[in-house]
Amino acid sequence: MKPIPVCLLICACAIFTSAKAQKTTLSTAETNALIVVHENQKLSLFVYDSLYAIWGINPFGNIRSAESQHVSFLDDVADNYALELETNEPGNSAATFTTPQAETIYQESISKGSLSVVDALKMGARLEEMSLQVLHNAKAVTIKSDLLHTFDILAMGSKNNLQAFNRRLKMYGITYEPGFLEQKDFRNIINQ
């Protein structure tokens, strides 16, 4: 996994500070998008933490740390808009989600990812595809530069994570077939 460059995080913090000073508000669509993105990142964090506990391999170890940073990053963004997001960290509490869909995806991911290392890696790749889809949808409902920048940073991380899962699957002789992304888009990501 490629870490998010520090300069991008510093720029993002400057943008969020500016947004907070402006006392801007979110539309209902933007609020919902931020909640869904946060839930998605939290879902990935809990799944990767659980699969790392089962299999003890990277990329789960590295990516769960990145997902934890993403959740904290989104908490900061939400704070700038006086939006409180439900946050809990693996190890400190059980996985809890605000939507039944996230709970279902979590349970399915752990169930399927527990079958074998290859199944776990496929679940990781699937979750990253889902993240990219969620982020694409979130970008469609806002014109706020701080939110667009946040979603772009998270999408870059998801692309890096998808590349990492794909590389590890190749080490096992497995060719991953995308389930959410178009084949062309998937190829563009893994060939970057």
Domain covering 29-81+96-190 assigned CATH 1.20.1260.10 in the classification: yes
pLDDT value of residue 129 = 98
φ/ψ of residue 169, rounded to 5:
-65, -40
pLDDT value of residue 91 = 58
Query: What are the Cα distances from residue 32, in Å, to 137, 146, 181?
Result: 11, 16, 23
Q: Residue 3: what residue type?
A: P
Under DSSP, the state recorded for 82 is T
pTM: 0.84
Distance (Å, rounded) from C-alpha 148 to C-alpha 141? 10
Distance (Å, rounded) from C-alpha 52 to C-alpha 29? 34
Spatial neighbors of 46 by CB under 8 A, at least 6 apart, are: 90, 95, 106
Give the chain's residues under pLDDT 70.
1-23, 87-93
Domains of the chain, residue spans: 29-81+96-190
